[in-house]
Amino acid sequence: MTLLRRNYVQPMIVEQEETMGNWDCTKEDTWRDVMEWRARVWVNKLAVVSPQTEKQYTFGEFNLLVNQIANALLKLGAKKGDRVALIGPDLPEFLAVTMTCKAGIVPTPINWRLKADELTYVINDCGARIIFVGQQYADGVKAIQSRTPDVKHYVCLDGRRPDMPSFDEFIAGSSPDEPGVDVFPEDMLAIIYTSGTTALPKGVVKKNRDALAMMRLINGLGQIRHDDRILGLYPLFHAGLVHASFVSYMFTATQWILQRFDPEAVLQTIDRYKITNLMLVPTMLIRLMDHPTRPKYDLSSLRSIVYTGSPMPVEQMRRAMEIFGPVLYQGFGMTEGGGQMSLTTADHILALKDPSKQHLLKSVGKCLPGCEMRLVDDNDNDVKPGEIGEIVFRSRAMIDGYWNKPKESAELLRNGWLHTGDMGRLDEDGYLYIVDRKKDVIVSGAEKIPSKEVEDVIYQFPVAEVAVIGVPSKEWGEEVKAIVVPKEGVPTTPEAIIKFCNERLSGFKRPRSVEIWKELPKNPTGKILKRDIREKFWAGQEKRVS
């Protein structure tokens, strides 16, 4: 595919004209503003690099590519506000489709790990009529075609198939000119599906207003610089799409994209391209440190390693700083816009140098500028200093709610504060420590897994009772464990239940272990006491999350 290169430096528009589609360049309130300014000012600066496909784009070229996709979608009948689903590997084309939000399109990336029933639900819930899908996942998507009747068009992101156009065929002949769709701060930018406390995924509605506020909040301390070379390892279906890839683009850093996380490929990329910033989850960092070929690569270009998604064991933090140097930076927040907290590089260094400050490594840091945080009880009253309470946030980065879920939205944003479901405490210096989760969610390798969803599957097996919990895991932070009481007279084995789950659940949701108990602890009303069950596996741990 050949893209036109053109100089985007044009006379500034002092006042917004009434004609539809004219861009008011006196503001930067939407993703359209962000992209058009970057294309004009940094037209020849490298924006996106894919070492595996050997494709690279400047900010000017990437804007032209996004325009071509947007114009092709509009020609196909897509309108402002329409959702376009994406299921595929991390590629520049995937990222470009998501940035058609500059034309009012609402990208909806979907976790490729989802099973058929889960995939069907998300596609139908978001109401997508067009799906961009990777070759590897196309058969699975087409297999549920009869169950997703609203979908009218399919495009293959990374190959050719007889039953759908390729990406290049889809944009062939499409204009690289600006689509000219008016986009406003209150318009949707994307829908990111995330698992919550119920069995069904929830669509987090990101508007231009809150998404851009979140990007500025995340980089409030200047972690990303104009001259950075960033390797973001969050999958593009993840909230990291907006919180990392869009942030890198907004602050005009050059970002490298790998199709899948592979430790060897990551180490090679850092060495070859002199990557300055890594963005990843703790599990990935641990795998990089453990990789046998790591010592042969030059990793000295790294000046920042941002880890998010789940806490990192203190001993692994110490090891990482010995290997990579004083470059660690922890971020804590939510897809919904909760946070952002940060444990800065300076905090990490202080904790290692000063024995009296080593406890800081167990915290998630302090609020970034532009964010408020409180600890509250069940009635949303502030808890006393030193007491444990639910962590709630307030900032301009908060979402307005979930897609098609008014009840859950109202609960999330109760009294004007975003309720995280995490329980925490503050020390005398204002550092936040997460000690438990109010919501019954397991976080394994930064993936949120509702225990109810796993329990519902196991209840389809002939069992009397089941409780699914998260237990400590050195590799994943937590892993899924099921405690099962068999039905009387029905032989049940852990192996049979695991096999049953493997056939019905995505890989990251499957129980890694099962125990058979005679009975589960209950309160006087008969409710299963998961707290008592967890205690057996978390005894001796300082936190009830790993």
pLDDT per residue as tens, the chain (546 positions): 333 333 323 333 333 333 357 777 778 899 999 999 999 999 999 999 999 999 999 999 999 999 999 999 999 999 999 999 999 999 999 999 999 999 999 999 999 988 898 899 999 999 999 999 999 999 999 999 999 999 999 999 999 999 999 999 999 999 999 999 999 999 999 999 986 434 478 999 999 999 999 999 999 888 899 999 999 999 999 888 999 999 999 999 999 999 999 999 999 999 999 999 999 988 889 889 999 999 999 999 999 999 987 767 788 888 999 999 999 999 998 899 877 899 999 999 999 899 999 999 989 999 999 999 999 998 999 999 888 899 999 999 999 999 999 999 999 999 999 999 888 899 999 999 987 677 677 888 877 787 878 888 898 888 888 999 999 888 888 899 999 999 888 889 999 999 999 999 988 899 999 999 999 987 544 568 888 898 889 887 766 555
Q: Which CATH number is 442-538 given?
A: 3.30.300.30
Separation in Å, CA 415 to CA 39, 369, 379, 409: 41, 22, 10, 12
* CA angle (311 as vertex; 107, 473 as ends), nearest 5: 105
User: What does the pLDDT read at residue 435?
Assistant: 78
Q: What is the pLDDT of residue 15?
A: 36
The count of residues in the chain is: 546
Neighbours of 28 (CB within 10 A): 14
Residue 500, token pair as written in the block:
């049953």
User: How far is residue 425's CA from residue 431's CA, in Å, rounded to a whole number?
Assistant: 8
H or E element in which residue 479 lies: strand 477-486
Judged by DSSP in three states, 296 sits in: helix
Give the pLDDT score at 71.
Answer: 98
Half-sphere exposure (Cβ direction) of 527: Cα atoms closer than 13 Å: 5
One DSSP character per residue, 214-242 reads: HHHHHTTT--S-TT-EEEE-S-TTSTHII
Q: Domain-by-domain residue ranges, the chain? A: 54-183, 442-538
Q: What is the DSSP string of 88-128?
A: S---HHHHHHHGGGGGT-EEEE--TT--HHHHHHHHHHHT-
Q: What is the pLDDT of residue 140?
A: 96
CB 508: neighbour CB atoms within 10 A?
17
Using the structure block, give the residue that is written with the tokens 């990208």. Answer: 107
CB 153 within 8 A of CB 107: no
* pLDDT for 534: 87
Q: Which two tokens stand for residue 282?
A: 């703790």
Residue type present at position 125: D
Do 402 and 202 touch, CB atoms closer than 8 A?
Answer: yes
| Bridge partners for 149 per DSSP | none
Largest alpha-carbon pair distance within the chain? 81
At what angle are helices 282-290 and 263-273 packed, to 10 degrees? 80
The rounded distance, in Å, linking the Cα atoms of 48 and 56 is 6
One-letter amino acid at 76 equals: L
Beta strands 463-473 and 477-486 are antiparallel
Same CATH fold assignment for domains 54-183 and 442-538: no
Dihedral sign for Cα atoms in the order 351, 356, 374, 447: positive
User: What are 484's two structure tokens?
Assistant: 């099962």
**CA–CA distance, 61 with 15 (Å, rounded to integer):** 27
CATH architecture classification, 54-183:
3-Layer(aba) Sandwich (3.40)
Residue in 110, 138, 104, 140 with CA at minimum distance from that of residue 125? 110
What type of residue sits at position 181? V
What is the structure's pLDDT at 544?
57
Rounded to a whole number of angstroms, the CA Rg of the chain reads 24
CA 228 to chain centre: 21
Dihedral pair phi/psi, residue 223, rounded to 5°: -65, -35
Instruction: For residues 38 and 192, give the distance between their C-alpha atoms in angstroms, rounded to a whole number.
Output: 25
For CA atoms 209, 211, 216, 218, the dihedral sign is: positive
Which of these, 32, 26, 23, lies nearest to 14 by C-alpha position? 26
Sheet containing strand 153-156, strands side by side: 106-109, 83-87, 130-133, 153-156
The CA distance from 84 to 105, in Å, is 7
* Residue whose tokens read 């029905």: 490
**Of the candidates 190, 221, 477, the residue with the CA atom closest to the CA atom of residue 340:** 221
Grouping H, G, I as helix, E, B as strand and the rest as coil, residue 423 is: strand
3-state class of 478 per DSSP?
strand
**C-beta atoms surrounding 385 within 10 Å:** 10
